[in-house]
Each structure stands twice: as C-alpha cells, then as structure tokens.
Chains A and B, each alone.
Chain A
Amino acid sequence: MIEMIIQSLPLAIFASVPLLLAVEGELVAERAGMINLGIEGMMLTAAMTAVFAAQISGSIIAGLFGGIAGALAVAAIFGFFSIRLKADQIVTGTAINLLALGLTGFVYREMQQSAIFVRSVPHVGAAAENAIAIVSWIVIPILLSLMLWMTAFGLRLRACGEYPRAVAASGPSVAMHRWAALVIEAVLVGAAGADLSLALSSGFAENMTSGRGFIALSIVIFGRWKTRGILLGTAVFGIAAALQYALQAMNQSLQFHLLLAIPYVVTLLILCGIAGKVRAPESLGRDA
C-alpha cells in the first residue's frame, strides 16, 4: 500500500494542481467572510474560456488569461449579488453553479460549430508543467501566507471574515476588501480552470470540473482555514484520486469508489472537530 502511494505521488502532485489553486483561492475568500459555493461554476467557466482563448491565439499564456477573465466574470456576478445586494451567499453560489453548468454546456456546443474549433489546442510542455506545479505548491502558498498573516491588508481582510462591523467602524470598507478577496480568488480559480482544460486535458468537456469546486470547499475545512492545512488536505485528496488509477490498473477498480469516498468521510469528521477544535472565520457566509 505504502509503495502504491509513493508511486502515485508524482501523478497526485500534477493532477491536483487545479484543485490546489482553487483551494488557495477559496481560502482567501473564506478568510474574508465569503463562502463561494459557486467556485465549481467559476472553475468550469474558466476551463472553457481558457480553451477558447488558447485556440484563438494559439498561446498557452493567452489561455491562462482567458481562464482568469472567465473566472473574473463569474466573480463579478457573485460579488454583485452577495456583496452589493447582500443576497445570501449559499443561494447565490448555487445559482452560479447552475448558471455556469448551463451556460458552458450551451456555449460550448454552439462554438463547436464555429471556425475557431478548427484550430488545435496548444500543448503545455513538461517544463511548463513543472513550473506550474512549483508555483502552485510552493510559491503561492508562501505568498498567500505572507499576505494574509503579515500585511495590514491581510489583517483587515481577515477581520472582514471575523467581525466586519469592527472593520467598518474603524474606517476601511468591508465591501472593498471582500471584492479584493474575490478578485484574488478569481485569479487563482481562473488559473485552476485553465490548468484543468489546457494542461491536464487538451480541451473542454461538459461539466469537466466534476465536483472539484466542492472538493475545494471541503479541503478548506479540512485544512481548518490555514495554509499548511490546505496543502496537507489537497495532498490527501490528490493521493486518493491518484490511487484510483493505480487500483484501476491493477483491475481493482471496484474499491476505488469506496476509496474516493474516504476523504469526504475524513472531512466530515474534521468538521465535527474530531481532530481538535475547528475555528471557522466567525462571519463566514454572512453579509457585512
């Protein structure tokens, strides 16, 4: 078993990059007091817009920006409803998932009949893949930790997740900080979508995120809203997913369904505080 885990590690590291980026984005948003259930839809939209941008330009970099743009558009909708209109975040997030699922399915089918689809999706090289893995597993976590825990901006951002009225009373705008968090989340989730459709697969498919956004939500809890915790959580989920392939290769695909359920059960247990006290941001999910 140990051997299998070690063998599946490389796959786990690369295959869970989109998940990790999404988790990092969601960490920032939740620290600012927003629970973005629509992260699944955000990633799905980014995956599609990344493919379009890459196909039109023939460039991976353009694809990345295309993904980020798509995620930003979704973030704008989420922010408009949840920050501006102070609508419930859960309801808004649910609507955004349905919106993205429906819209990407519809638009993708329409675009398949258009000219840009003649062009092929550019390929991400091995060197680039390594760089992406290093950036998402090492560079971004360090940057996020510094930002959240060692800057004045990060302090205020976290205060927005704890007690927004205290921030408002001392001057800075809660809405501005939440928007900023949302933009950071969108950039990361946009990159996640782009990595999913350009690096992990070469093209878009309907509902291709297949629950990664929800898994990301789970991992943020698993990691108890801490950077180290979410890295560990992503590794656990990533290894479980990678083992699935190993088991399939050994013709034991039956077990992988049960295996896949295990991280969720573990997250459930973590939510119940089995492994110590969980301290979620106090105003998570509430309006300012």
Chain B
Amino acid sequence: MMLTLAHISKTFGATRAIDDVSLDLDRGQVTGIVGENGAGKTTLMRIIAGEIAPDTGNVQLDGRAALVHQHFMLVSNFTVAENLALVDATDPSRLFRTHRTLERRAEAIIGRSGIDLRGVARRVDELSVGERSKLELIKAIASDPDILILDEPTSVLTPNESSELFRVIQRLAAAGTAVLFISHKLREVLEVAPRIVVMRAGRIVADTTSQGMSAEDLATAMVGEHQAIASIVGVQNDENRATAERRSPSAERRIHPLRCEHISGERLDDVTFDVPSGQVVAILGVAGNGQVELASMLRGLEAPRSGAVLLDGKPATRRQLLGSGAVGHIPEDRTRDGIVAQMSIAENIALTSRTPLRHARGFAQRLIELYSIRAQNASQPAGLLSGGNQQKVVLARELDRRPAVIVAAEPTRGLDIAATRFVHEQLRLAAAAGSGILLMTSDLDEAFALASVMYVIYRGHLSDPLTPRDAAMQVGPLMAGVA
C-alpha cells in the first residue's frame, strides 16, 4: 500500500467534516471520489495532501502527493514560465536566471507532462480557462507525485478538454501514479475510475469497483436510500411547461418583466432572451462561460458594451437595475455576495425591504418563521447561520417583496437535499405567484426540475430557446460547444 488512512476525523467548528475514515490506495490505481457538496471530499483530499492535519487518526503516505485545487492556484500577473518556476523542484538552483532560461525550463516541463500547452511567455490572465487548468495539471505533474489528487477538474472544461485530461490520467496511472479524482459528474467518474469511493456526511458509505455500477446506483449511495432522486441527467417532464402555460395569461397579454436584447460584453456575445412572468427560464452552462458577467449586468453592476436590458419592455439604465427593486437577486456566491455576515438577520433583510427600519426586527421575525430559518432570533448575526439558512435569509429577503423578476444563480450550490428542495419549492411558488424567474445553473437536474424554457450558454453564446423535451436531447452537446 502506498497510502493508508486509518480512522481519520476532522472537525471544523461545530461540523464534523470527516468522521472516522479509513482508506487504502495502491500504485497505479485511479479512484473516483463522489459525494454531495459538503460530504467531506475536499477536506479528505487536503488531509492526504498534507495541507491540513487530521484531529485524530493516522496518515501513512509512501511518497508525495500533489493536489490540484478546485480553484486556480495561479499567479495571474506572472507568465506561464514563472508559474512553473514557482514549483520547479528540479531547478538546478543557479542563482541568477533570465526569462529565457525560465521559459526553456518551462517548455521542458510541459514536454515531459505530455500535455499540450504553448506560449509559455504569456501571462496567466491572457490564458483561457481550459489552458489555466492545463497549467494547474502540469504544475502538479511536474513534481512527479506518487499520488495525484484532482478536485473537480472538469467543472470548467469542455468535453474535448475533459477527454484530453482523462488520457493524461490513464497515462500517469499506467506509469504507477495513484490518481484520486473528485467529481460530481457521475458518468465521468464511471468512465475514468475503476474504483469508486462514495462519501456522505464525512463518512465513506461505499467503496466499490465501477464494474456494473450505474449513475443511478451511485446517486442512491450518495444521498442515502430514503432520498433517492429521480434521475441524474434525467429527463424530467414537460409538466413544468404545461403548468406554466396553464397559469400564464394569453399570449397577447403576456408580460415580459425582463428581456435582454443583443447584449454583449467582455465574455458575452449577442445574448438575447426573454423571461415571461410566471415562468422559470433556465440558462444552463458549465461555469466560466459568461454567467458571472450576465448576472452582474442584470444587477446593474456593469453596463453591456452593446444591447439593452429591458424591464417591463422599457430599456433600464444601470441605476434603475440597481436601485429600483424590480429585480430580486439570489447571487451565486452567497457568503461573498448574499449576506453581510457581521450584520444581524434583521439588518440583512432590511437592506432591501421597504419596511420602516423601526419595524425591521418584527418583520424579520415573521420571515424567519415563514421560511423556517433556523436562528435564535432576528438579531443574530447572519454569519453565524449555516449555509442553508443563510441562503434562506437571502431567499426570504428577495422573494418576500415579490419582485417582478428574480435572478437566481446556482441557488442550491452546496446545500443539502432538504434545503435544495426548499429552495426549489420557493422558486416554484414565486413563479406561481407571477414572478418571472431566470435560473442560471450548471446543474442539469435543477434546470429540468424547474424550468419550462431553457437556454444553453457556451463561451458567451446563448443557444436557441429549448423546451425541456428538446433540451434532453441537445443539452449535452450544446454545453460542450459541439452542436
């Protein structure tokens, strides 16, 4: 055995991230690690890589581990060559080196890794997302690790780039490197990893070969038997659309509270779509295809280079988008953009509500009950709540004032099943009450569960609108940019 974990536990604050985990790993083995967000995968990987120490238990590692983080660990002001020089352990430590020597060394390292990346004199902020993740991988391989750990490496990759990555993984494994591969894309894991470890709530709940396993089996193991979800890349139904049509007004009278006409920006290219009231419109796509810029434009934080955002059919200025309150926002990164951690729940809610300030606490108390937010009282700092309850605070604040449009970006990322259900339920209710909802998500299930119209975003381009039935067939290639 090259890696033996024995009874590892790790606690952060009140949450037990890793609960008595034992695991063995052999050379040349590719192991997939799956589990819901918050199941403890990343924490376990960081323990293996030696980045954090376990509270109890024993790690025995014969060799060295390299971890490719989910977030880029690249210096964006540095060139590719400089970034590689930062980790170049084989550097024959000559005291002074010119750019040229760094670049030559970088080219050699890249050559050895077998990954195709050119232009080592380019600064990282000139690279595409795909190139950056290649660079991360090259960095990790450069140190000749005995274990290579990849944390969600494909979330920002196109299918082509992903398969290139898988080839690299196979080659490394054949050369004796053990590879640990975290992903939430179950099919991918089944394809790449002969062995699959399933984690749930800090424990390993299954450790099997991928032979004969289906994505559904894995999903069941991930969420537990009682909560098995319908399907993974499942084809939901057109029920959403049917109900939406039943309750939406006739075509002539249909209101479009939000419309984008030909908006372009740094990462958006001629994007046009329409959010009718009473319906959920989904924009599906892998992260990094322009969603962040779109959300920021809809919030009024930046202006489109060309094109217009229309509210109720009238072009809206940035100031109107920001200050009018017509658009409710559920931002993607809730700790950064959703709540003000140091302020109380009541103050967080009062930020957007029209209730007089002296009633803020009573008002917040009502919402706490209405949205069953687990909090001591309305004066509790919002930062002390759990992730799910923080999201409920944002949801309560944005939905309660019944805005004509709600922009929800990855509203359930990192939430457990119960909280996810709650958020979905609330979004459906809001749509039923007449709001138009724009859902930006990378989660197919979420889109199929809620939306009656779907668009796919790829490199800043929007596909034609799809019905859920059409989407079931086309979404995959569209998200990959091959259709």
Task: Say yes or no for B90: interface residue by CB 8 A criterion.
Answer: no
Q: Which residue of B lies closest to A171 (CB)?
A: B87
Q: Tell me how far the C-beta of A62 lies from the nearest C-beta in chain B, rounded to whole angstroms.
A: 31
Pick from A151, A163, A170: contact of B97, CB under 8 Å: A151
Which B residues are CB-close (under 8 A) to A150?
Answer: 96-98
Task: Say yes or no for A169: interface residue by CB 8 A criterion.
Answer: yes
Contacting A at CB under 8 A, from B75-104, are 75-78, 82-83, 85-87, 91, 93, 95-98
A152 touches B76 (CB 8 A): no
Q: A150-B98, A155-B86 given as contacts; is B76 within 8 A of A170 (CB)?
A: no
Q: Tell me how far the C-beta of B135 lies from the nearest C-beta in chain A, rounded to whole angstroms.
A: 11
Pick from A146, A151, A167, A279: contact of B77, CB under 8 Å: A279
A170 touches B96 (CB 8 A): no
B76 touches A162 (CB 8 A): yes
Q: Tell me how far the C-beta of A176 lies from the nearest C-beta in chain B, rounded to whole angstroms.
A: 15
Q: A150-B98, A152-B91 given as contacts; is B76 within 8 A of A163 (CB)?
A: yes
The 6 closest A-B pairs by CB, nearest first: A169-B73, A170-B87, A166-B73, A150-B96, A162-B75, A163-B75
A114–B83 Cα distance when bound, in Å, is 56
Task: Say yes or no for A224: interface residue by CB 8 A criterion.
Answer: no
Q: Which residue of A lies closest to B50 (CB)?
A: A171
A83–B268 Cα distance when bound, in Å, is 40
Q: Tell me how far the C-beta of B75 lies from the nearest C-beta in chain A, rounded to whole angstroms.
A: 5
Task: Say yes or no for A282: interface residue by CB 8 A criterion.
Answer: yes
Given contacts A152-B97, A155-B85, A166-B83, 17 further A-B contacts (CB under 8 A): A146-B96, A150-B96, A150-B97, A150-B98, A151-B95, A152-B93, A156-B86, A158-B78, A159-B86, A166-B74, A169-B67, A169-B73, A170-B73, A171-B87, A281-B77, A282-B76, A282-B77
The 23 sampled A-B contact pairs (Cβ below 8 Å) are A146-B96, A150-B96, A150-B98, A151-B95, A152-B91, A155-B85, A158-B78, A159-B78, A162-B76, A162-B78, A163-B75, A165-B73, A166-B74, A166-B75, A166-B83, A167-B86, A169-B67, A169-B69, A169-B73, A170-B87, A170-B139, A281-B77, A282-B77
Q: Please, how many residues of chain B have a CB less than 8 angstroms from a CB on the other chain? A: 21
Pick from A151, A165, A166: contact of B96, CB under 8 Å: A151
Q: Which residue of A lies closest to B69 (CB)?
A: A169
A167–B51 Cα distance when bound, in Å, is 13
A165–B75 Cα distance when bound, in Å, is 9
Q: Tell me how far the C-beta of A12 lies from the nearest C-beta in chain B, rounded to whole angstroms.
A: 32
Which A residues are CB-close (under 8 A) to B74?
Answer: 163, 166
Pick from B67, B82, B93, B98: contact of A155, CB under 8 Å: B82
Q: Tell me how far the C-beta of A165 lies from the nearest C-beta in chain B, rounded to whole angstroms.
A: 6
Q: Tell me how far the C-beta of A5 lies from the nearest C-beta in chain B, rounded to whole angstroms.
A: 36
Q: Which residue of A lies closest to B102 (CB)?
A: A155
A162–B139 Cα distance when bound, in Å, is 18
Q: Tell me how far the C-beta of B143 lies from the nearest C-beta in chain A, rounded to whole angstroms.
A: 9
Query: What string of 1s and 0s marks CB contacts (under 8 Å) between A68-93 and chain B?
Result: 00000000000000000000000000
Q: Which residue of B lies closest to A280 (CB)?
A: B77
Which B residues are CB-close (under 8 A) to A152?
Answer: 85, 91, 93, 97
Q: Which residue of B lies closest to A156 (CB)?
A: B86
Query: What string of 1s and 0s marks CB contacts (under 8 Å) between A262-288 and chain B?
Result: 000000000000000001011000000
Which B residues are CB-close (under 8 A) to A151?
Answer: 95-97
A158–B85 Cα distance when bound, in Å, is 12
A156–B86 Cα distance when bound, in Å, is 6
Report the interface size class on chain A: 10 to 19
Contacting A at CB under 8 A, from B201-253, are none
A166 touches B77 (CB 8 A): no
A165–B51 Cα distance when bound, in Å, is 12
Pick from A146, A159, A171, A279: contact of B75, CB under 8 Å: A159
Which B residues are CB-close (under 8 A) to A167?
Answer: 86
Which B residues are CB-close (under 8 A) to A146?
Answer: 96
Which A residues are CB-close (under 8 A) to B91?
Answer: 152
Q: Which residue of B lies closest to A163 (CB)?
A: B75
Q: Which residue of A lies closest to B87 (CB)?
A: A170
A282–B76 Cα distance when bound, in Å, is 9
Which B residues are CB-close (under 8 A) to A165?
Answer: 73
Q: Tell me how far the C-beta of B388 lies from the nearest C-beta in chain A, rounded to whole angstroms.
A: 27
Contacting A at CB under 8 A, from B40-76, are 51, 67, 69, 73-76
A156–B87 Cα distance when bound, in Å, is 9
A163–B96 Cα distance when bound, in Å, is 23
Between A156, A167, A169, the greatest number of chain B beta carbons within 10 A of the residue's beta carbon is seen for A169
A171–B98 Cα distance when bound, in Å, is 23
Q: Tell me how far the C-beta of B348 lies from the nearest C-beta in chain A, rounded to whole angstroms.
A: 24
Query: What string of 1s and 0s marks CB contacts (under 8 Å) between A206-248 and chain B?
Result: 0000000000000000000000000000000000000000000
B95 touches A166 (CB 8 A): no
Which A residues are CB-close (under 8 A) to B97?
Answer: 150-152
Q: Which residue of A lies closest to B71 (CB)?
A: A165
Which A residues are CB-close (under 8 A) to B98?
Answer: 150
Which B residues are CB-close (under 8 A) to A279?
Answer: 77
Q: Which residue of A lies closest to B101 (CB)?
A: A150
Q: Tell me how far the C-beta of B191 lies from the nearest C-beta in chain A, rounded to whole angstroms.
A: 28
Q: Tell me how far the C-beta of A117 lies from the nearest C-beta in chain B, rounded to whole angstroms.
A: 46
Query: What string of 1s and 0s marks CB contacts (under 8 Å) between B163-204 and chain A?
Result: 000000000000000000000000000000000000000000
Query: What string of 1s and 0s marks CB contacts (under 8 Å) between A154-184 and chain B?
Result: 0110110011011101110000000000000
Q: Tell me how far the C-beta of B479 lies from the nearest C-beta in chain A, rounded to whole angstroms.
A: 29
A156–B83 Cα distance when bound, in Å, is 10
Q: Tell me how far the C-beta of B471 lies from the nearest C-beta in chain A, rounded to whole angstroms.
A: 38
Q: Tell me how far the C-beta of A157 lies from the nearest C-beta in chain B, rounded to whole angstroms.
A: 11
Which B residues are CB-close (under 8 A) to A166?
Answer: 73-75, 83, 86
Q: Which residue of A lies closest to B85 (CB)?
A: A155
A281–B77 Cα distance when bound, in Å, is 8
A171–B96 Cα distance when bound, in Å, is 21
Which A residues are CB-close (under 8 A) to B83?
Answer: 166
Which A residues are CB-close (under 8 A) to B139?
Answer: 170
A207–B109 Cα distance when bound, in Å, is 54
A163–B123 Cα distance when bound, in Å, is 14
Between B51, B75, B96, the greatest number of chain A beta carbons within 10 A of the residue's beta carbon is seen for B75
A165–B136 Cα distance when bound, in Å, is 14
Q: Which residue of A lies closest to B49 (CB)?
A: A169
Q: Tell me how far the C-beta of A166 lies from the nearest C-beta in chain B, rounded to whole angstroms.
A: 4
